[in-house]
């Protein structure tokens, strides 16, 4: 994928994480794929059964600043179940910066 997405470049891993949450919330598969590192990016992304995302809480950030080449962002994202209940997705995500651009890699171990 090229860097030709209509979304701006982000100077921190946390900012990219927040934009990816918005993309999941909005069903923007193109941005999710474009911001996913080529080493782990799926060939396609089907958001047909995407839940209704409600909110994002960043819990911790390790590195991932404007001068870093890697970082971890831990977050909790809430979503609404079809039954009306609310669930939480909790993940520590790895990010890398290449050629001045941040990419999501995968969940951190």
Higher-pLDDT residue of 3, 43:
43
Helix residue ranges per DSSP H, 1-108: 13-26, 29-34
Residue 59's Cβ-count burial label (10 Å; 0-12, 13-18, 19+) is exposed
Tokens read off for 28: 């923007």
Whole-number pLDDT of residue 6: 61
Calpha distance 103→92 (Å, rounded):
14
pTM of structure: 0.90
13-107 fold? Nuclear Transport Factor 2; Chain: A, (3.10.450)
Calpha distance 70→72 (Å, rounded):
7
Mean confidence (pLDDT) of the chain: 93
Higher-pLDDT residue of 83, 21:
21
92-107 confidence digits (pLDDT tens): 999 999 999 999 999 9
């Amino acid at each position: 994928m090229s860097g030709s997405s209509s979304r701006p470049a982000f100077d921190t891993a946390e900012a990219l994480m927040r934009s990816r949450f918005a993309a999941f919330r909005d069903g923007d598969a193109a941005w999710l794929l474009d911001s996913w590192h080529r080493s782990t990016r799926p060939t396609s992304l089907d958001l047909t059964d995407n839940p209704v995302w409600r909110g994002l809480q960043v819990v911790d950030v390790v590195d991932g600043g404007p001068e870093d080449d890697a970082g971890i962002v831990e977050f909790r994202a809430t979503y609404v179940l079809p039954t009306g209940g609310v669930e939480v997705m909790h993940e520590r995500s790895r990010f890398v910066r290449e050629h001045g651009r941040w990419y999501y890699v995968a969940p951190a171990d």
